[in-house]
Structure 1
Amino acid sequence: MSAPTYYAPLGGLPPQSQLLTGRAVFTEAYAVIPKGVYSDIVTSYLPFWEKTRCWIIARPLSGFAETFSQYIVELAPGGGSDKPELDAAAEGVFFVVDGEVTVTLDGKEHRLEPGGYAFIPPASDFRVRNNAAGTARFHWIRKAYEAVPGIPAPEAIFANEKNIAPNPMPDTEGRWATTRFVDPEDLRHDMHVTIVTLKPGAVIPFAETHVMEHGLYVLEGKAVYRLNQDWVEVEAGDFMWLRAFCPQACYAGGPTNFRYLLYKDVNRHPKLGREFRA
């Protein structure tokens, strides 16, 4: 079995000869942000981060992501932050796609290589640095943690997907599998970030329709994805946002595995919106 690969944007600018036509789609039910969008002119900079830029590909916004934000962060050698998270209520997940990232949590260093995963609980004392010679790139998914009386907040997790056996979906002979970093029955967690793998020709054979909101970043391969009533071609580097209850299905196109980093909100009662009642 070959080692996993992860698409990481490099920035730059498109040539003046390039056509304006692209694959970006924004609807009330879903959005597709194709990899060609990750240019130098759409990067963002963050307070207290040095030698760092990022592409913010999801944020809480009316008609868009409601429960999470997601960045692709690029750290030059020596870059990083001693105050990375300014919101004490925010939990976070890092997933490294290129280079090496060192996360120091409560004084202990954790070195993350490609495939490396970190869950950072809310109100954590941590730092992020690129101590290597090359540029590092990682996903940073943030969510306001929903505390529940009587259930403690989860502790930090550091792992690498290469050390975790994927869980095959029933009756698929392993053609559709999910790599889980968190026990799905652990109610301390209110979000899951997993990796879904479909082998060439594999299929999600029904239109999933569910309460969880999704962010999907394609790490490898290509597929045709059903989003609401549309079939959309996606490939490594593309990002998809799916609102709750947006129908979704997939055909993996090959010739390599189709793999994506998946966010979803879980394990909490839906908010009842009392603020909107008369």
Structure 2
Amino acid sequence: MKALTWQGRRDVRVEDVPDPRIEEPTDAIVRITSTAICGSDLHLYEVLGPYLKPGDVLGHEPMGIVEEVGTGVTRLKPGDRVVVPFNIACGSCWMCDRQLYAQCETTQVTAEGKGAALFGYTSLHGSVPGGQAEYLRVPHAQFGPIKVPQTGPDERWLYLSDILPTAWQAVKYADTPPGGTLAVFGLGPVGQFCARIGRHLGAGRVIGLDLVPERLEMARRHGVETLDVSQLDDVPGALIDLVDGRGPDAVIDAVGMEAHGSTSGKLAQTAAGLVPDRLAD
């Protein structure tokens, strides 16, 4: 099959790789129909390179059609349309019982001190082949994949794999009081979701901050107040002035580490990406 593979820093290629197969009774094979590119894939392109090896298959936001299931998978059948979440969880351990799926004790990468295994995301998270491919082996398919209706375009469902839950969780954690004010720094994809979800969940005002005109305009189209930070000398002061001299009730940082504009931060990320594998290990 064809798959997007990591070959080195800033070097990703579509290559022929072996088709996945059922390895455990709880596996499923999914034929991928759509897969998104996440902002965190930029980390693999740069700073997390030491934890990848040439040929690793990338991607963690896929959906598709179930082709085959293991003997332990009873909730799915060939032909089902599913969205596959980023994290891999068993659904029955102590952590999963408490809905802490990203810390699943069955798939935890304890050797690296990390939580649950993740699709397509370095040896730190289990080196599990990812979803930017024609087919994907899905471990713990008795729990993870989300069945969705057969109708509607993939774009209606695809974002359930990662980016929409990421934004939803950020808004829930921000805990804006009903009718309160939420500020969202960064109006890229996650920030746009946060702003709209904030309105949906009852924030009285949502203020989005960015410096890209198209992003600011998109937010305004969806009822979000905006601040163009490129036109401000004092961003905190402008926010305070906008909200009765006291500032917003809650703030979400959705800028992302590659976009923070810090020269020293960029230098540190670049240097980390050049660390030899033997030192990174």
TM over 0.5: no
The structure with the larger Rg is: 2
Structure with the larger strand share = 1
Structure with the larger helix share = 2
TM-score, structure 2 as length reference: 0.29
TM-score, structure 1 as length reference: 0.29
